[in-house]
Amino acid sequence: MPARTGQQYIEGLKERPPTLYMSGKRVKDPTSQAGLSGGIKTLARMYDLQHDPVIGKEMTYRSPTTGDQVGLSFLTPKTHGDLDRRHHMMRNWAKITCGMMGRTPDFLNVSLMSMAAAGKFFGQNRPEFEKNIYDYYEMVREKDLVLTHTLVNIQRNRSGAATALDDSLDVALSVVKETDEGIIVNGARVLATLPIADEIAVYPARSHRLPTGAPGRTSFAFALPCDTPGLKFQCRESFDLQRSSFDHPLGSRFEEMDALAFFDNVLVPWERVFLYGDVDMCNNMSLTTHQYLHSGHQVVTKNVVKCEFILGLANLMVQTLGSSELPQVHGMMAEIIENLEITKALLRSAEVDAELDEWGVMCPVDISLMVARQQFIKMYPRMGEILHLLGSSSLMALPTEDDFSGPLVEDIDRYLETDFSSAKERVKLFRLAWDTCCSAFGSRQILYERFFQGDRNRNVVLMNTRYDKEPMSQFVLDFLNQEELE
Ligand SMILES: Cc1cc2nc3c(=O)[nH]c(=O)nc-3n(C[C@H](O)[C@H](O)[C@H](O)COP(=O)(O)OP(=O)(O)OC[C@H]3O[C@@H](n4cnc5c(N)ncnc54)[C@H](O)[C@@H]3O)c2cc1C
């Protein structure tokens, strides 16, 4: 089947809705559910872009099995040119959301592609798992399905004395039984962003390693349809408050939702199991398959777009307030420019120095992507702070759209215009700034960037452990051992 249209994605959700619960009720039809339908419409726009008469060609490629045009994020990159094509495709999707939907389907499509390409890794103990992961990748690619994923067990006790496993053994997702049909899993996981999806992938997080000696029943990777019996998603409160795009320009469009995933003795058929019972494999899955390099490529591509959006927004804010020539404003604008250019440069170096890995896949460079990720954890909250400092009271002097047809409209028009903007244009812009850095939607963006791909503290350990520092130590030793100059 060729790449889906937006309507086909919506119909898929209607026919087989994920088992979502929100605000104390079961969601019957997510596509018409207040608080979810805005994000679904935006995802549908992305799928429609695959059929756009101009950009559509950049968004798809020819399926190696069916010859149909399928989504380009499924492409197995073999050359630098392939990575470049994928970059453009992912950038086109990120621009639709101003970088505000982190979990657009390309994030998991590229992950799944890399796992399938590294199929031999999965097949090393159980040869059938190699076929399982490849068949699953092909099925998702050909049906153009949307995936969510959940990797981390819910916090129960993260004290130093507790191991990553002990702290949550009674609630952690684990295999409770094996049957002829498959494995039965029980427990909970946090979080599944984008539960408005067709399928859920469950695999180990690179950041949360299982301790040595952990029981095999805690190590697995599998995938299931989101309407599988026993699987339930508890959504958080929606930040799409059903207001107009004037009042809540981001929340009304880009609510991707986050959900807890509860597994109540769920059967995972054997053909959907990719890894089971091997703690070392579980801990090394992401690093060995290079899955994190491909999802990292999507993340940093999205982050460049997000920086561009923040820079454009900040520039319009200071132009509107006439503050652009103040020395401290130059300083803050320069900081955003630096963030954008550093992120772009790291993305570029990750792509230019990309190499084929042992699975024959062109992989962006590990350290460039890791640094970009670590920097963004600091950059994004700071950019939110800069928007606060640039906007100050204008971020609260915010009548709603209705107020522009209310009894105070003459006062609003008179007192809220600036020397550079009408009152309505100013309010429209600053409502966008508010939704970026002050609203519940905006705060969640900051939390997301801090944590969605592992926390900074664990990530620095990973980076420092893996970085080869020996050549630099040798450099210093050579210097220390130099003979005195004549
Ligand atoms: C908005 C949002 C969306 C998300 N979406 C997804 C998703 O779609 N799929 C998914 O799988 N996950 C998702 N996550 C979860 C994310 O992967 C985790 O939040 C992240 O890995 C941190 O894990 P944790 O929340 O359990 O925090 P913890 O692991 O408890 O860490 C909390 C803090 O304590 C410190 N800490 C605790 N224990 C240790 C330790 N042993 N060593 C070092 N430091 C420690 C950490 O540094 C951190 O600062 C999402 C999170 C957020 C906030």
CATH of the domain at 401: 1.20.140.10
* Strand 20-22 with 231-235, pairing: parallel
Q: Which atom of ligand 1 is nearest to the CA of 207?
A: 21
Asked if residues 148 and 197 have their Cβ atoms less than 8 Å apart, the reply is yes
What average pLDDT is seen over the chain?
95
Q: Is 163 in a helix, a strand, or coil?
A: coil
Closest C-alpha to 158, from 149, 167, 169, 146:
167
| Sign of the alpha-carbon dihedral angle for 281, 133, 225, 273 | negative
In this structure, the answer to whether residues 230 and 186 fall within a common structural domain is: yes
Q: Note whether residue 167 is domain-resident.
A: yes
pLDDT in tens, 42-59: 999 999 999 999 999 999
Q: Note whether residue 479 is domain-resident.
A: no
Q: Note whether residue 408 is domain-resident.
A: yes
Q: Mean pLDDT over residues 159-166, rounded?
A: 52
Per-residue confidence at 468, pLDDT binned at 50, 70, 90?
Answer: very high
Residue 15 Cα to ligand 1 middle (Å): 33
pLDDT of residue 159: 67
Q: Which residues line ligand 1 (CB under 6 A)?
A: 103, 149-152, 155, 158, 190-193, 207, 258, 444, 447-448, 451-452, 454-455, 457-458
In this structure, the answer to whether residues 315 and 247 fall within a common structural domain is: no
What does the alpha-carbon distance between residue 25 and residue 133 come to, in Å, rounded to a whole number? 35
Mutate to test the pocket of ligand 1, among 101, 151, 152 (most ligand atoms within 8 A of CB): 152
Mutate to test the pocket of ligand 1, among 451, 453, 462, 464 (most ligand atoms within 8 A of CB): 451
pLDDT in tens, 120-145: 999 999 999 999 999 999 999 999 99
Q: Which amino acid is at 396?
A: M
Closest C-alpha to 256, from 448, 125, 414, 426:
448
Q: Note whether residue 378 is domain-resident.
A: yes
What does the alpha-carbon distance between residue 416 and residue 410 come to, in Å, rounded to a whole number? 10
**pLDDT above 50 (res 39):** yes
Asked if residues 270 and 128 have their Cβ atoms less than 8 Å apart, the reply is yes
What does the alpha-carbon distance between residue 336 and residue 364 come to, in Å, rounded to a whole number? 25
The closest residue, in CA terms, to atom 42 on ligand 1 is: 458
Per-residue confidence at 73, pLDDT binned at 50, 70, 90?
Answer: very high
Helices (H), 165-222: none
Q: Note whether residue 480 is domain-resident.
A: no
Q: Which amino acid is at 329?
A: V
Rg for the chain, CA atoms, rounded: 24
Residue 445 Cα to ligand 1 middle (Å): 15
Q: Is 222 in a helix, a strand, or coil?
A: strand
pLDDT of residue 207: 80
Q: Note whether residue 316 is domain-resident.
A: yes
Q: What is the pTM of this model?
A: 0.95
pLDDT of residue 206: 83
Q: Which atom of ligand 1 is nearest to the CA of 160?
A: 41
In this structure, the answer to whether residues 281 and 410 fall within a common structural domain is: no
- Element housing 256 (H / E): none
Percent of the chain exceeding pLDDT 70 equals 97
In this structure, the answer to whether residues 296 and 443 fall within a common structural domain is: yes
Q: Which amino acid is at 241?
A: L
Per-residue confidence at 162, pLDDT binned at 50, 70, 90?
Answer: very low
| Sign of the alpha-carbon dihedral angle for 41, 47, 53, 59 | positive
What does the alpha-carbon distance between residue 455 and residue 446 come to, in Å, rounded to a whole number? 13
- Angle (CA) 141 286 190, round 5°: 85
In this structure, the answer to whether residues 383 and 370 fall within a common structural domain is: yes
Neighbours of 220 (CB within 10 A): 23
Q: Mean pLDDT over residues 385-409, rounded?
A: 98
Closest C-alpha to 153, from 205, 189, 203, 200:
189
Q: Note whether residue 32 is domain-resident.
A: yes
Identify the bridge partners of residue 233 per DSSP, sorted by sequence position: 20, 261
Give, as one character, the DSSP assignment of residue 248: S
In this structure, the answer to whether residues 271 and 326 fall within a common structural domain is: no
* Total count of domains within the chain: 2
Closest C-alpha to 224, from 179, 171, 262:
262
What does the alpha-carbon distance between residue 354 and residue 369 come to, in Å, rounded to a whole number? 11
Domain containing 345 equals 290-474
Give, as one character, the DSSP assignment of residue 166: G
In this structure, the answer to whether residues 258 and 138 fall within a common structural domain is: yes
- Phi and psi at residue 301, to the nearest 5°: -60, -45
Q: Mean pLDDT check: name the lowest of 168-172, 417-421, 475-479.
A: 168-172
In this structure, the answer to whether residues 262 and 320 fall within a common structural domain is: no
In this structure, the answer to whether residues 277 and 319 fall within a common structural domain is: no
Q: Mean pLDDT over residues 176-190, rounded?
A: 96
Residue 19 Cα to ligand 1 middle (Å): 24
Q: Mean pLDDT over residues 196-205, rounded?
A: 96
Per-residue confidence at 420, pLDDT binned at 50, 70, 90?
Answer: very high
Q: Which amino acid is at 92?
A: N
CA distances from 379 to 272, 292, 304 (A): 39, 21, 12
Residue 459 Cα to ligand 1 middle (Å): 11
pLDDT of residue 299: 98
In this structure, the answer to whether residues 461 and 449 fall within a common structural domain is: yes
In this structure, the answer to whether residues 282 and 345 fall within a common structural domain is: no
Please identify, among 288, 318, 340, the residue that sits at the C-terminal boundary of a domain: 288
Q: Which atom of ligand 1 is nearest to the CA of 149?
A: 9
What does the alpha-carbon distance between residue 194 and residue 107 come to, in Å, rounded to a whole number? 11
pLDDT in tens, 74-101: 999 999 999 999 999 999 999 999 999 9
Please identify, among 242, 262, 288, the residue that sits at the C-terminal boundary of a domain: 288
Percent of the chain exceeding pLDDT 90 equals 89
Asked if residues 440 and 432 have their Cβ atoms less than 8 Å apart, the reply is no
The closest residue, in CA terms, to atom 12 on ligand 1 is: 191
**pLDDT above 50 (res 443):** yes
The closest residue, in CA terms, to atom 13 on ligand 1 is: 191
**pLDDT above 70 (res 160):** no
Residue 455 Cα to ligand 1 middle (Å): 6
- Element housing 192 (H / E): strand 182-193
Give, as one character, the DSSP assignment of residue 380: H
Mutate to test the pocket of ligand 1, among 199, 455, 456, 458 (most ligand atoms within 8 A of CB): 455
Q: What does the DSSP assignment read for 68-119?
A: -EEEGGG----SHHHHHHHHHHHHHHHHHTTT--TT-THHHHHHHHHHHHTH
Helices 127-143 and 106-117 pack at an angle, to 10 degrees, of 150
Q: What is the CATH number of the domain that holds 107?
A: 2.40.110.10
Residue 401 Cα to ligand 1 middle (Å): 38
**pLDDT above 70 (res 109):** yes
Q: Note whether residue 482 is domain-resident.
A: no
pLDDT of residue 168: 59
Q: Is 429 in a helix, a strand, or coil?
A: helix
**pLDDT above 70 (res 164):** no
| 420 conformational bin, left if phi > 0, alpha if psi -120 to 50, beta if neither | alpha
The closest residue, in CA terms, to atom 21 on ligand 1 is: 454
In this structure, the answer to whether residues 165 and 74 fall within a common structural domain is: yes
Q: Which atom of ligand 1 is nearest to the CA of 448?
A: 1
Please identify, among 242, 267, 288, the residue that sits at the C-terminal boundary of a domain: 288
